[in-house]
Structure 1
Amino acid sequence: MIEHRNLRSICHASIGTNNLNRAKAFYQPVLITLDIELVCDYEHAIAFGKGYPEFWVQKPFDQQTASPGNGVHFGFVATSIAQVDKFFTTAISLGAKDNGKPGPRPEYGEPYYGCFVIDLDGNKIEASYWNPEKN
């Protein structure tokens, strides 16, 4: 049993892709910048996490074309400003679109530092660091 599972509110999240190999080539180097590793690799899906499959990228179960949802994004925890910056530069170098460069956003709270990108399938992802020194 995964002991920390009882501390979670959400078991996992999934996004669709139309090209699993391309998605893996994108997400594996991007998420490792946050110490998030590939933990499952199947013909139809891959999953990333810190010892547990928390973030899935998969071909849609209904065999239809994957599409992103407007208003939906996935935020990943960074443990430093440097991780946020590396996440952003790695994602951009692999073809992601800039949707908000790394930096503070006081409208989200004084401790917030983050960035936003759009992945190769049009999904919105974020990395953010909550600086406890600014609380």
Structure 2
Amino acid sequence: MSDENPSILSHVSIGTNDFARAVAFYDAALAPLGCRRVLEFPNAVAYGRQFPEFWVQAPIDGKPATVGNGTHFCFLATSREAVQAFYQAALKAGATDDGAPGPRPLYGAPYYGGFVRDPDGHKIEASFWDASLGGHEGAEPQ
């Protein structure tokens, strides 16, 4: 087994216009996925399991944060139950529904995901890949 990080990305960052609200939201929504704050700075917090992979911050240029059309962020869950817990925690923390948890056969038989919009309008998801259900034939990104 390798100690190498299997991720293909170092990190992503999203902007917020209400930093305190966004941090409270992500504290609650990411906890069921085993994610926590791993770094904190004024106006920026990084979440991860071990590494700072997902940043929430006030835009560095001082302009208002905006939502990218066609952009979404997906967090890995360890089970279907974790996807459900993420979805419920996110809704309770102020998210709006953008696709209830469930199978997404279009993405492949093993795919199970749930989508919400965070309080700033960013589309976020948690997904679980059940390898016991086969491969990823026909999988397409959302």
Q: Which amino acid aligns with 1:114?
A: G
1:51-79 per-residue CA deviation (whole Å, 9 max, x = no partner) reads: 11000000101100001100000000000
- Counterpart CA distance in 2 for 1:9 and 1:51 is 15
Query: Letter of the aligned partner of 1:4 in structure 2?
Result: E
Once residues 8 and 83 of structure 1 are traced to their aligned partners in structure 2, the CA distance between those partners, rounded to angstroms, is: 20
Residue matched to 1:9: 8
Equivalent residue for 1:123? Answer: 122
Post-superposition Cα deviations, 1:31-58, rounded to whole Å, max 9, x if no partner, equal 0110011111111200000111000000
Q: Which residue of 1 aligns with 2:137?
A: none
SS of alignment partner, residue 14 of structure 1 = strand
Measure the CA separation in 2 of the matches of 1:85 and 1:119. Answer: 16
> Gapped runs of 5+ residues in structure 1?
none
- One-letter identity of the residue aligned with 1:94: A
Deviation at 1:4, TM superposition (A): 3.2
Q: TM-score, normalised by structure 1?
A: 0.94
Which consecutive aligned stretches of 4+ in structure 1 deviate over 3 angstroms post-superposition?
none
Supply the AA of the counterpart residue of 2:98.
Answer: N
TM-score (norm 2): 0.90
**Root-mean-square deviation over aligned CA pairs:** 0.9
Q: Please give the alpha-carbon distance, in whole angstroms, between the structure 2 residues aligned to 1:132 and 1:105.
A: 14
- Which residues of 2 match residues 19-34 of structure 1 at below 5 A? 19-34=18-33
Equivalent position SS for 2:100: coil
Q: Report the equivalent of 1:134.
A: 133
> Which stretches in structure 2 are left out of the alignment for 5+ residues?
135-142
Q: The residue matched to 2:65 in structure 1 has which SS?
A: coil
- The sequence identity of aligned pairs, in percent, is 48
Aligned residue type for 1:58:
Q
